Each structure stands twice: as structure tokens, then as C-alpha cells.
């Protein structure tokens, strides 16, 4: 499964700290009384008006369900710990953005493919499994929604709610909302490293990172031009240590070659963030160092409630290193 529940929750709390501390409390109403959620449960008072989410399978919550795609998660064992079962999340339970929304006092953010009416007022999730910064990324999975199209879908959402809020109120709310973006991993896993792509023969690691981050800069600037101001960008993790790469390594360890391959991307993104913060008035871009958090997980896994390298064992035992769970696949009984 894409995430172990306890790791996802702990990881998300770290992200919330970054978001709240670095961006400040930007609430519409910060009363101290908890808000009653749509399902009758109690949640924290809202600290931001809304959260808009862009990314891939790590945070997709159902946008691929109705696409002609091999990148779907609307079947068991996905959702085995989620109230209501499988939803399209590539997880046994919450994804990181679900936990972040909960900590920020927001309801679970609906998928773009399912959101309608007042549901969109707290934000929308546009993420799509197999999606990348480049449109061509992920074509082996057939249907997916690249980052460029996710941005166009956000524009459609703005057009939808402008009539309800009015242009001025909408602009103010959007400027105070969080834009969470986690893109880039598929541009390596399902593009550069795939044998049926010629990308590796056209670019070395630095050249490819330059290409990706320039496209990324243009896309983020498009979001800024649509009113976004508060950005949280997740960097790439230690991708040489993910289960599908581990399964290809006959020595059984992480692939340092893959880990080194993605380093220029993170370096370029940090530089890009500094430039955007300087050149886009009123913007605030925050970088989440996923690689460092992942290293902390590997070194201190017991503090996250994990037993050994449980994350790897689940993939290896049941999925033989494939990138996602098979239909009617097994699940690990020792889920935290």
C-alpha cells in the first residue's frame, strides 16, 4: 500500500507545523469552539479558508476512478482502514493531505471528479495517480491528469464558485488558502526510468532536472496568476528506497543511483522557490524536505509505531515490488 496509516499521520503533523508556523494563522474565523463536521464528528476550528491539492498517487483521492486507467485504487485492499472502504486513495486509510486537512480544521477535501456545490468551498483535490509535471509522463498507465490539466481544472472550479462568492470575496479567500503541490516523482519513475521512454538518452540528470523545474516554475506561476499565494511544495523523497525500486535491486538495498538521480530536482526546486518568493509579490512558497523526513523514518521507525521495515515488507510480500496493490491482493495484519 502507498502509505502506512501511522506514518502518514505523523508525517502530516510535521507538514502542518511547517504550514501553520511559516505561513501564519490565516483563518476566516478562529473561535476556540470546535466545528461539527458533516459526519457528525467534531473537528478543530478552521485555520485556513480552504486547501487546494495538486499531485499524483500519494495524494489522489479518486480522480482516476472513472478514467480508462491502470492507475486506480478503488478496490481492496486499498481503503481497508478507511471509513467506507476503498475510495481511490492509494492508501489503507488517510493520505497525508487528509491528515493535514483534519489538523487545519477542514473537512476531508473532495476529489475534483466528485466535488459539487458547497463542497468546493473548503477546497478541491485535483491529484491524479501517474500524473507528472510533463504531459507525456505516465502514459504506460493510459488515463491520468497531468499537472497542466489539474491547473485548468482549478480554473474551472474558480469559474464555478465566482457566482456564489463574488469576484472580490473569492480573490481574498483564494489568497489566504493553502495550495499543496506534490509533483515530480512520476517524471522519474514513469518517464525517465522507464525503458520505453527515450528521455534517459536525451538528458543527463542535471539537464532533466532543469527541464522539469522550468516547466514546474511556469505551472506554479500560472496558479499564482489565478490568485494562489500560499504554496506548500513537497520535494522528492529517497526514491531509490521505495518498494518498486528495492524489488529490482538484487542486493536488497536502496538504489543510490536513483537517489542521486533525483537530487538535482530538489536542489533546483529550492532555488526556484527562493526566486518565486522574491519575484512574485505577496507569495509565500514553503519547501517540505521529504527526503530528510524519509531518512528520519528509516532511522527512527519505532517512534512511528512501525515494526522493522514494515513499509517495504508489505509491498514485497504481497505485491512483489509492483508499484501498486493488485486486485484482491493481501494486506499486512500488523497495520499500526
Q: Is residue 334 part of a domain?
A: no
178, 126 Cβ separation under 8 angstroms: no
Q: Is residue 327 part of a domain?
A: no
Q: How far is residue 95 from each of residues 16, 60, 224, measured CA to CA in Å?
A: 14, 8, 25
Q: How does pLDDT run across 149-158, given as a tens digit for each residue?
A: 999 999 999 9
Q: What is the residue-averaged pLDDT of the chain?
A: 83
Determine the average pLDDT of the residues in 243-255. Answer: 80
pLDDT at 11 over 60: no
What is the β-pairing status of strands 42-43 and 35-36?
Answer: antiparallel
116, 105 Cβ separation under 8 angstroms: no
Report pLDDT for 293: 83
Three-state secondary structure of 232-287? EEECCCCHHHCHHHHCCCCCCCCCHHHHHHHHHHHHHHHHHHHHHHHHCCCCEEEE
Full domain range(s) for residue 13: 5-319
Going by pLDDT thresholds of 50, 70 and 90, the confidence category of residue 9 is very low
* Domain of residue 310, CATH code: 3.40.50.1110
Q: Is residue 50 part of a domain?
A: yes
Report pLDDT for 140: 96
Q: Is residue 222 part of a domain?
A: yes
Q: Residue 217 class from Cβ within 10 Å (0-12 exposed, 13-18 middle, 19+ buried)?
A: middle
Can you tell me the distance from the alpha carbon of 294 to that of 239, in angstroms, rounded to the nearest whole number? 10
Share of the chain above pLDDT 70, in %: 77
Report pLDDT for 309: 47
pLDDT at 63 over 70: yes
Report pLDDT for 46: 78
Q: Is residue 333 part of a domain?
A: no
The alpha carbon of 313 is separated from its chain's Cα centroid by a whole number of angstroms, namely 23
Q: Is residue 330 part of a domain?
A: no
Q: Other C-beta atoms within 10 Å of 149: how many? A: 14
Q: How many domains does the chain contain in total?
A: 1
Determine the average pLDDT of the residues in 14-35. Answer: 42
Q: Is residue 90 part of a domain?
A: yes
**Nearest-CA neighbor of 276 among 235, 216, 234, 226?**
216
| pTM: predicted TM-score of the whole model, two decimal places | 0.86
Q: Is residue 336 part of a domain?
A: no
Sheet holding 51-55, edge to edge: 51-55, 178-182, 230-234, 284-288
Amino acid at each position: 500500500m502507498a502509505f502506512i496509516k501511522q506514518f502518514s499521520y505523523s508525517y502530516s503533523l510535521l507538514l502542518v507545523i511547517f504550514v501553520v508556523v511559516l505561513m501564519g494563522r490565516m483563518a476566516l474565523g478562529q473561535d476556540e469552539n470546535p466545528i461539527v463536521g458533516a459526519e457528525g464528528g467534531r473537528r478543530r476550528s478552521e485555520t485556513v479558508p480552504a486547501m487546494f491539492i495538486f499531485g499524483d498517487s500519494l495524494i489522489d483521492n479518486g480522480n482516476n476512478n472513472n478514467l480508462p486507467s491502470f492507475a486506480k485504487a478503488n478496490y481492496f485492499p486499498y481503503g481497508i482502514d478507511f471509513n467506507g472502504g476503498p475510495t481511490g486513495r492509494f492508501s489503507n486509510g488517510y493520505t497525508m493531505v487528509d491528515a493535514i486537512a483534519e489538523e487545519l480544521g477542514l473537512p476531508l477535501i473532495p476529489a475534483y471528479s466528485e466535488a459539487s456545490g458547497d463542497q468546493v468551498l473548503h477546497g478541491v483535490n485535483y491529484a491524479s495517480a501517474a500524473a507528472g509535471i510533463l504531459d507525456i509522463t505516465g502514459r504506460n498507465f493510459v488515463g491520468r491528469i497531468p499537472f497542466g490539466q489539474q491547473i485548468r481544472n482549478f480554473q474551472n472550479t474558480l469559474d464555478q464558485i465566482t457566482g456564489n462568492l463574488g469576484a472580490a470575496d473569492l480573490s481574498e479567500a483564494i489568497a489566504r488558502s493553502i495550495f499543496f503541490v506534490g509533483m515530480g516523482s512520476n517524471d522519474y519513475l514513469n518517464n525517465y526510468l522507464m525503458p520505453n521512454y527515450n528521455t534517459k538518452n536525451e538528458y543527463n540528470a542535471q539537464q532533466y532536472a532543469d527541464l522539469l523545474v522550468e516547466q514546474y516554475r511556469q505551472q506554479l506561476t500560472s496558479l499564482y496568476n489565478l490568485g494562489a499565494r500560499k504554496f506548500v511544495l513537497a520535494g522528492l523523497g529517497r526514491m531509490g528506497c521505495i518498494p518498486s525500486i528495492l524489488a529490482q535491486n538484487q542486493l536488497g538495498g536502496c538504489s543510490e543511483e536513483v537517489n542521486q538521480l533525483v537530487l538535482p530536482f530538489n536542489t533546483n526546486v529550492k532555488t526556484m522557490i527562493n526566486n518565486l518568493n522574491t519575484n512574485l509579490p505577496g507569495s509565500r512558497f514553503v519547501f517540505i524536505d521529504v527526503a530528510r523526513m524519509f531518512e528520519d523514518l528509516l532511522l527512527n521507525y519505532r517512534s512511528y509505531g512501525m515494526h522493522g521495515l514494515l513499509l517495504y515488507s508489505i509491498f514485497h510480500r504481497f505485491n512483489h515490488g509492483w508499484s501498486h496493490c493488485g486486485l484482491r491482493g493481501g494486506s499486512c495484519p500488523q497495520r499500526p
